Amino acid sequence: MPQRIYCSTCGRDLYVGIELESPLETIHKHGGFCPACRSKLRFDVDSIKIVPVEDER
């Protein structure tokens, strides 16, 4: 199932794709910061959101 990982601060997509990607890998790819709002990304619900694409709200 496609998944979407996005910044919970500004809503910027950090990863959208069919492959299940580790959130830690996604965070690492972005250097630990959101490219849009520069929030520090951490693997917790206050920092990033992970949702199945079909369940997007």
| Binding stretches for Zn ion (CB under 5 A) | 7, 9-10, 12, 34, 36-37, 39
With b meaning 16 or more CB within 10 Å and e meaning fewer, what string describes 30-55? beeebeeeebebeeeeebbbbeeeee
CB nearer to Zn ion: give 1 or 15.
15
CB nearer to Zn ion: give 3 or 5.
5
Task: State the minimum distance, in angstroms, from the CB of residue 33 to Zn ion.
Answer: 8
CB nearer to Zn ion: give 24 or 37.
37
14 neighbors 30 (Cβ within 8 angstroms)? yes
